[in-house]
Amino acid sequence: MVVDEFADGELDRVFRALADPTRRDILARTLRSGESVSSLAGHYRMSFAAVQKHVAALERAGLVRKRRHGREQIVHGSPETLHRAATLLAQYERLWSDRATRIAGVLANEEGSTT
């Protein structure tokens, strides 16, 4: 299972961040095994089109891939992307926290120069 690829805290962080419960659920299901969109749609109280939209959003983010199997499109979760994205976002957060520190420096400097 994908869980093994994450450190405990990191996994918590990723899943806490997955704000949309439906997408989180789709991702969890498709990480276990491939599922068609129509089969996925059977799990939720929403239209086929709405589920399709969630899948498309996950696909755009590279979190799932669709593979054609006969007449059906099977959705597969991509644990590598989830991991990579979480790692990258953590780095990007660091970039912003460094920037925020420097902004505070610019602001403090300014205050100092006017007094």
Partner 1 sequence: MTVPNGTADPTTLTLTFVAEFDAAPEAVWQVWEDPRKLERWWGPPTYPATFTRHEFVAGGESRYHMTGPDGDQPSGWWRIEAIDRPRSLEFSDGFAGSDGEPLPGDEPVTMRVTFEPTDRGTRMTTVTHFVSTEQMEKMIKMGMQEGMGLAMGQIDAVLASAG
Residue ranges binding partner 1 (CB under 8 A): 13-14, 17-20, 23-24, 27, 57-58, 60-63, 81-82, 84-86, 88-107, 110-111
CA distance 105 to 108: 5
Residue closer to partner 1 (CB basis): 5 or 69: 5
Closest separation between CB of residue 3 and partner 1, Å? 15
Residue closer to partner 1 (CB basis): 48 or 107: 107
CA distance 29 to 45: 16
Residue closer to partner 1 (CB basis): 69 or 88: 88
3-state helix, strand, coil in the chain (%, to 5): 70, 10, 20
Q: What angle do CA 74, 75, 78 make, to 5 degrees?
A: 140
Closest separation between CB of residue 94 and partner 1, Å? 7
